[in-house]
Structure 1
Amino acid sequence: MAEPNTDSISKPVGLVTRMFYWWADRPLAQAFVLVSMSTIAMIGYLQPSLILDWVASADSAVEDPSPQTKHRRGLPGPTGLKGAAAKVEPFQVAGGECVLVARSDDFFTAAGLTAMRSVASELSALPQVRSVLWLDDIPDFNVFGLSGTLLPSSHASARQLEATREQVLRNPLAVGQLISPDGKTLLLHLELDWFFVTNDDAATIEIREQAERAVQQVGGVDIDFQLTGPVPLHLMTVENHVANSRQYQLYGYAIMLLSALFLFRGLAAVLLVAVAPAMGVFWTMGMLHFFDLQDNPFNDIIVPILISLVGLTDAVHLMVEIRSQRAAGRSVRDATRQGIARVGLACVLTSLTTAIGFISLTFAHHEIVQDFGWCCVLGVAMTLVSVLTVIPLGCRSPLGRRLHVGLGKSMIDGQLKRIDPLVGWVLRHDRVVAGAAIVATAVLALISLNLQPDEKRYSGLSESAEAAQALRHLDQSLGGLEFGFVSVNWSEQADEGDLLVVLQEVDDALRQESLIGHPLGLHQLLAALPGDGDAAERMTLLELLPQSLKRAFYQPEGRSAWVQFRVQDLGIAAYGEVFPRIESRLNEVMGEYPGYSLALEGDAPWRWRNVYRIVTDLATSLGTASIVIWLVLTVVYRSIRIGLISIVPNLFPLAATGTLLVLSGQHLELVTVCVFTICIGIAVDDTIHFLTRYQEEQQLGGDHEDVIRRAFTGVGSALLMTTIVLVAGMLTAVVADARDARLFGIMGCLTLTTALFADVVLLPALLSRFSRPRSSRKSSRCNAKPGNISPLDS
């Protein structure tokens, strides 16, 4: 296929074209931007305080809260108490900032008890450990209430140790709380003294290694340790993301570079195309340090890949045009000017529409998503500046003299003619293809609406991380790390003698659910005390409980009590039927006992009630972004019809990806919300390049079918090149260790391939059918056979 005529560019040009000419002719300005942005980014990597201290006063700097305040939410307890009651510290069997998970078959042996007591003692001796809570800290039950310890001496006989094992596994404060029902997993809850936590290892590796040394010193017992909990999960998430980001960025850039070299068959063009988005990534990641956003779990892996995708798309389109101009005999200067003039506006439009999609993320309810949206907006802006700076500046270098080398010899250039018959077939059957495109897009969009919302607290954590492995083990052995609770309140008119009965009804409702782990409340503590009797009689034993233990689940002056339970990290969708059943049963109990108020509370129930916001975020983001993008395209192309036509090829990839998620049993999560919003930005990029070239070819005149063919010839190579290179880069995320990164890679690859299909097959048919000039339509109707006139033409 011949290169389209470019003589029209010699005609009088508009203001936008003159602006691109001006920029292409200013290499010194380009060099200044390149050096300035690189310097600022380098300061961000090395010492961002140099600029932060200059732009902000010292007293306005607010340090981030410590990890424990970000991630720890304690169980309910008495607040606002007066007098002596306010000085009582409730006894808790959970809520440690760090949770040391010990696994062994020998806990109830002399060596096992000696080793675990040594572990607790050695951990307490660490300066960064404020307190350690484990089985030995649980008081024993006897006829006088609670006194002594639950575990016997390490020198006890084998028979005594076996009896102790049975006693421990019957103790409600122990089983399911600090030890698994099979007695093979034991927990130690640690509170940290943050004054002595001078680095991340002090709250993670040093604790586990100290425990391992204590066991080795005792000898004779095999105990495995893993550390999890709010603080290790947070720190290991950051650490693994930093390590993975470097690894997968390196893999992604290598694959994209090799793919580009294979496709372009010209080293000079490949270097410029690769350096442009890479420089955009460098600038963006350096700038994030000024806003303290570098540790966002989406930013360290997804943002660099995403920016590379967006930047590489524009860089390839720009380079293909410049190479074509060079091959036509133009000088480096003229080829660069003409290339930027023809493709520059499309690059600005793609960046603008992509940024619109990301800006919509900033209205989400989740802070992580909001930060991710702003980071992507910053990245898109940096990448646009990088592409429009690096490529024209590089063309002025010695590399520019060899840009046209390899043109026509690449795999894409050689195979593009094979696609021309497909385009011809599409144009001949535009009515059928356009109708099928509209129907298929609508059907897939309807299927996508069946996506169910979900949220996992630690889905972004690397599965090979120690904290993640320990978390999964706790899900299986103790019912999870996270806690929820049922609050019980009663009025002055209610019969407080029914409290234990109500608590038992709550316990029964919770134990009927297999995903609810080990409920614990006041009724179980009183039931474990010696003696018999009904609920009223058991309440008289309340005074035998120490104040610290009683107030862990009961607040008489506030007329409230609560029952805690464990929740697994399976995703909140797994509890979509569990929590409603529990609430239904709680409502029945309230009907049976007037004056009592029961409520399901905690982080997990809160996420279940508010998970619909994920759907709201998605609908708002995609809806707002789609409308604004349509308005932008309509205004820029000065055609409502073109704006409407662009909806189908832009929506089709999203609908296809959503349908695959539905069919594969996936849910709508934070990562999928982000990917959907990203996809609408990426999917519209190639559409904009195609439509821009289409309007240029329309100005040259000719048969409408030839106009579409010439538009495809002008951008077809770039469309195929960018898709192949970008899919190759996205595949690096598919093999990532983190589930969110894998899901991002799979969805990204699917969206890119379906977007290519939409632009190569669906868009030409839609343009042929609905954007044909009136003169062509009249000619088509005159040449049509009687009775075969399409309703769409009439």
Structure 2
Amino acid sequence: MNRILRYFFLVLFIALTAFVPFSVIDNSLEVWIDHNTQEGKKWQEFINEFGSSEFIVVGIKSAVDPFQKDILDQILSLEDRLEKIQQVEAVVGPGRIYRELFLDKSIASFQKEMLDSPFYQNLIIGKDKKTLGIFLYLKKLPARPTARKEITQAVEKEIALSKNSQLDFAVVGPPILNAHLDRASQSSSQKLVPVCILIVFFWMIFMVRSWWSSLVVLFTMGLSIGATIGLMVIFRTPLNMLTIAMPGLLLVLNITNAVHIVHRFHELSHSLQDREKAIALAMKELSMPCIGASITTCVGFLSLIVSSMPAVKQLGIFTASGLLFGLAANLYIVPWFLNARWNSVPNHTSFLAMPAMKFALYSYRNYILVNAVAIVLFILALFVSSFYQIEANTLKFLPEDHPVVQDSQFISENLTGLYSFDLEIHIAKEKETPWHWMEKISRGLEKNPAVARVYGPTDLLKKMNSIASDDPKDYQIPESKEAIDLMIVSMEKMILQEWNRICKDKESRIRISILVKAMSSHIYKSIFDDINTIIASRPPFVEINTTGIITLLIQSEKDLIYTQMESFGISAIIICIMLAFFLKNKPMTLASIPDNILPPLAAFAVMVLLGIKVNTGTVIVASIAIGLAVDNTIHICQRLNCVLAEKNNLEEAMVETLKIAGSPMIASSFIVSIGFTALLLADFSPLVYFGGLTIVAIFVALLCDLVWLPALLRLFMQKK
């Protein structure tokens, strides 16, 4: 039966791994929001009513006076080409404004209009009076993961054709940022993960003293990870900023069991001088601890399915699948390959066993001191962790010198906002549209330092009024309703097109966009406070909804943290139950609980002390920490149960347990942590944080199991 299962899992893993080249990365909004929530439904209704809320801004940097005919012709040519891109709905820029409204007038009059009219400022022309802007309004993008990448490539291609010694461009917008985040995460992973694997391989050779055993472990772990990603491809699930870290996560969690098997096999081969018996006995001893560790961690990750966020659910489901694949690899493929005839088993000396035993002995004999210090550290970590901060600015995931970061800085400083809040205003039927009230709140919102511009229908009304009177001083809303109605029906074609984009159902449903300079949680809080003040003072026949990409991203970021914390609590409870089931020893289970909670708390405390904010790149560390701690704890406790069956002395049993289990624990921790140092060189900050905090979590989990667990076991088990 074992032989059949070996071939079955080997063929299955190879078949699934063949799908890896077809995996894609998608960090689009759809990955993070649940369309069944109230916010998701609001956003969908908004999209159905007003069209896509995504846009692209092209900032034009001119080395010469931009108000020259040849420069305007170049800009117009670019605008016409951009409008031909499949997913572009409309293009608004200086070239088109000149052609539609000023072609029969002088360029000097066009320049005066652009420079003097408030309508264009912080939108089409910047504060420096030289930077011009082109807005691309997008259609609702297809659901496929590559949609934003495709439109980004198309826009960048057209812009590249227009670059010359006179004109340069900066390009920003949610689709642009999304595409570059995909590129950065994919590029960093492709460059550094192989380096990480090589470091792990060579360090493992040093630790286990066998190149073949090291190759077996990495090959089988690679197969199980490849099978997991292949499974995602089959279920049409793209990778994202959470699941991109899953290969490293699975390597950390699965390699522990593999190293335990290799170490025990080497020990028994050396003592028994019989490879067949050694592998059989090693698997007999370690099968249940491996099953217990993997199943417990697997169930913990499955608790993530309680999340309302699709990306978090995917992380839980596919990480659990990867853990089961890793378990199958460790139970069937690793022993099979270790037993190969050409595997030269080293003259095994567990040089790490001595420090493990010394730690256990010191901890056991000084258990009161160790427990006291550990409890103080536990409380301190819990206290410090409570000061965590959430960061929603995904732009900070990229290095400062990245083109998108540089372009974003240029646009926000010289032209307009980078992101948009949207206010959806509903006016009761048969009620007069409160244009003057909308103008008042728009200009009030612009007083917030984080707001670059508030754009809505009142801007178009003021512009039409100034055009009708041919006097820039008349840039204001007409006083009478009749004058406003007449202005609406007599709008120029270009302005009417824009009016119909933001006003629906006979002006009873209106869109106002708040263009924001930067994206961070404290900035959004100040804007939300202003919006809440507006909502509280609105006319009784007016209803206001806040929606749009940024609102959903902020909510998704908060939901991510909340669901991770919630699932962490659920997984902690489930893991305690699973520990009780596998250990079947109440005092031992009670001793294991605080030992497994401290590592994730310590990881969060280190984040707070280093000023690292909680985001999609760091929140997964808690899962890694508790997964590592649980794996090592089960191996120690299962081994201790076996030793206690032969020895009645808890101190001797503890030393004997760490003599056998301590060495692979230390070896696996060092192997993975040194391999993960490669991620510290990434240009993509989530990978840097993931690598650094994982190393911290690994060592805290190791210290807890080597130092605190023996003290806890004595505290809870000495009477027994």
The TM-score bracket by the shorter chain reads 0.7 to 0.9
Q: Contact 1:252/1:730 (CA < 8 Å) preserved in 2?
A: yes
Equivalents in 1 of 2:656, 2:328: separation in Å? 29
The verdict on how the C-alpha distance between 1:291 and 1:568 changes in structure 2, with shifts beyond 3 A counting, is farther
Q: Could you tell me whether the CA contact under 8 Å between 1:150 and 1:168 is conserved in 2?
A: no
Q: CA deviation at 1:357?
A: 2.3
User: How far apart are the structure 2 equivalents of 1:541 and 1:700?
Assistant: 97
Among candidates 44, 56, 60, match of residue 102 of structure 1: 60
Q: Distance in 2 between matches of 1:79 and 1:324?
A: 67
AA partner of residue 285 (structure 1): I
Residue 148 in structure 1 maps to residue 90 in structure 2: no
- Structure 1 unaligned spans of 5+: 1-22, 49-63, 81-89, 141-146, 775-794
- 1:522 is matched with which residue? 457
* TM-aligned CA deviation for residue 330 of structure 1: 3.6
Q: Which moved more, 1:258-267 or 1:547-556?
A: 547-556
Contact between 1:178 and 1:186, CA under 8 Å: does it hold in 2?
yes
| Paired letter, 2:77 | S
627-636 or 455-464, larger mean C-alpha shift: 455-464
Change (3 A) 1:681 1:533: closer
Match of 2:215 among 246, 258, 271: 271
User: Is structure 2 residue 697 aligned with structure 1 residue 745?
Assistant: no
Question: What amino acid maps onto 2:364 in structure 1?
Answer: L
2:364 match: 427
Question: In 2 relative to 1, CA 178–109 (structure 1 residues): closer, same or farther, beyond 3 Å?
Answer: same
Instruction: Indicate how the Cα distance of structure 1 residues 538 and 272 shifts in structure 2: closer, same or farther if over 3 A, else same.
Output: same
> Would you say the 8 A contact 1:75–1:95 is kept in 2?
no
Would you say the 8 A contact 1:479–1:515 is kept in 2? no
Task: State which of 5, 8, 16 in structure 2 corresponds to 1:41.
Answer: 16
The CA distance in 1 between the partners of 2:499 and 2:84, in whole Å, is 29
Q: Which residues of 2 match residues 410-421 of structure 1 at below 5 A? A: 413-414=350-351, 416-418=353-355, 420-421=357-358
Q: Which of 135, 147, 170 is equivalent to 2:94?
A: 135
Q: Is the 2:412–2:418 contact (alpha carbons within 8 Å) kept by the matching residues of 1?
A: yes
Q: CA deviation at 1:519?
A: 0.8
1:77 and 1:696 map into 2 onto residues whose CA distance is 63
| Structure-to-structure mapping, 1:172-187, within 5 angstroms | 172-182=118-128, 183-187=130-134
Q: What CA distance in whole angstroms lies between the structure 2 residues aligned with 1:666 and 1:574?
A: 18
1:293 matched to 2:237? The reply is yes
Query: Aligned match of 1:616 in 535, 546, 562?
Result: 562
Task: Give yes or no for contact 2:125–2:131 (8 Å, CA) kept in 1.
Answer: yes
Equivalent AA in structure 2 for residue 41 of structure 1:
L
1:36-63 Cα offsets, whole Å, 9 max, x none, are 2144225534789xxxxxxxxxxxxxxx
Which one of 387, 409, 419 corresponds to residue 450 of structure 1? Answer: 387
Amino acid at match of 2:328: V
1:450-508: CA deviation from partner (whole Å, max 9, x where unpaired): 32444345666687765565445444444533211334445579775xx3442233124
Counterpart contact for 2:61–2:132, Cα < 8 Å: yes
Match of 1:32 in 2: 7
Q: Secondary structure at the match of 1:565?
A: strand
Q: Distance in 1 between matches of 2:262 and 2:698?
A: 20
User: Larger radius of gyration, structure 1 or 2?
Assistant: 1
Normalising by structure 2, what TM-score? 0.85
**Letter matched to residue 419 of structure 2:** E
Counterpart residue number, 2:446: 511
Kept in 2: contact 1:694–1:708 (CA 8 A): yes
1:637 deviation in Å? 1.2
The residue aligned with 2:622 is 676
Q: Which amino acid aligns with 1:575?
A: Y
Cα gap change, 1:509/1:416 in structure 2, threshold over 3 Å: closer, same or farther? farther
Q: Which residue of 2 aligns with 1:119?
A: 78
SS at match of 2:67: coil
Secondary structure of 2:620's aligned partner: helix
Q: Does 1:628 align with 2:574?
A: yes
- Judge conservation of contact 2:59–2:131 (CA < 8 Å) in 1: no
* 1:71-110 matched pairs, under 5 angstroms: 98-106=56-64, 107-110=66-69
Residue 706 in structure 1 maps to residue 652 in structure 2:
yes
The equivalent residue for 1:375 is 318
- Does the 8 Å contact 1:526/1:538 carry over to 2? no
CA 1:170/1:68 → structure 2, altered by over 3 Å: closer, same or farther? farther
Shift of 1:120: 2.6
Q: Give the whole-Å Cα distance in 1 for the aligned partners of 2:411 and 2:636.
A: 53
Q: Corresponding residue for 1:404?
A: 346
Letter in structure 2 aligned against 1:250:
P
Do residues 649 (structure 1) and 595 (structure 2) align? yes
Aligned to 1:715: 661
* Percentage of pairs with the same residue: 18
- 1:237-287 superposed Cα distances (whole Å, 9 cap, x missing partner): 444443333222201101111111222232232222222212212222222
* Residues 520 and 714 of structure 1: CA distance in aligned 2, closer, same or farther (over 3 Å): same
Contact in 1 for aligned 2:303/2:571 (Cα 8 Å): yes
Counterpart residue identity of residue 32, structure 1: Y
Deviation at 1:74, TM superposition (A): 9.0
TM-score by length of 1: 0.78
Structure of higher RCO (CA pairs closer than 8 Å, 6+ residues apart): 2
Q: Which of 286, 291, 297 is equivalent to 1:354?
A: 297
Counterpart of 2:346, as a letter, is H
The answer to whether the aligner puts 1:486 opposite 2:423 as a matched pair is yes
Secondary structure of 1:404 counterpart: coil
Aligned amino acid, residue 692 of structure 1: Q
Distance in 1 between residues matched to 2:150 and 2:215, nearest whole Å: 44
The match for 2:157 among 209, 214, 217 is 209
8 Å CA contact 1:129–1:193 kept in 2: the answer is no
Which among 658, 672, 692 is matched to residue 604 of structure 2?
658
Distance 2:7 2:476 in 1: 85
How far, CA to CA, are the matches of 2:533 and 2:628 in structure 1? 45
C-alpha contact 1:122 1:211 (8 A) present in aligned 2: no
Give the whole-Å Cα distance in 1 for the aligned partners of 2:168 and 2:638: 63
Deviates more, 1:647-656 or 1:518-527: 518-527
1:580 paired residue number: 529
Which one-letter code corresponds to 1:430 in the other structure?
Y
The one-letter code of the counterpart of 1:135 is: P
2:314 maps to a residue whose letter is: D
Maintained 8 Å contact 1:136/1:149: no
Report the CA distance between 1:34 and its aligned residue.
4.3
After superposition, the C-alpha distances for 1:303-331 in whole angstroms (9 at most, x for unaligned) are 11111112211111111111110111341
For 2:134, the aligned partner's letter is: L
CA distance in 1, matches of 2:85, 2:579: 63
SS at match of 1:671: coil
User: Following the alignment from structure 1 to structure 2, what is the Cα–Cα distance between the partners of residues 331 and 451?
Assistant: 54
What is the aligned length?
Answer: 694
Tell me, yes or no, if the aligned pair for 1:349 and 1:688 is still in contact at 8 Å: yes
In structure 2, distance between residues paired with 1:179 and 1:347: 64
User: How many Å separate the matches in 2 of 1:343 and 1:136?
Assistant: 73
Q: For 2:239 and 2:104, how far apart are their aligned partners in 1?
A: 43
What RMSD in Å do the two structures reach over aligned CA positions?
Answer: 3.8
What secondary structure does 1:519 align onto? strand
Is 1:487–1:599's contact at 8 Å kept on the other side of the alignment? Answer: yes
| Displacement after TM superposition at 1:728 (Å) | 1.7
Contact 1:690–1:715 (Cα < 8 Å) also in 2: yes
C-alpha distance in structure 1 between counterparts of 2:159 and 2:687, whole Å:
33
Q: Report the Cα distance in structure 2 between the residues aligned to 1:179 and 1:482, rounded to whole angstroms.
A: 17
Q: 1:75 to 1:430 in 2, by over 3 A?
A: closer
Residues 678/478 of structure 1: CA separation in 2 closer, same or farther (3 Å cut):
farther
More displaced, 689-698 or 668-677? 668-677
For 2:127, what is the secondary structure of its paired residue?
Answer: coil
Deviation at 1:123, TM superposition (A): 4.1
* CA distance 1:119–1:585, change in 2 (3 Å): closer
CA deviation after TM superposition for structure 1 residue 752, in Å: 0.7
3-state SS of paired residue (1:686): helix
Match of residue 53 from structure 1: none
Distance 1:695 1:285, change over 3 A: same
Q: Which amino acid aligns with 1:694?
A: L
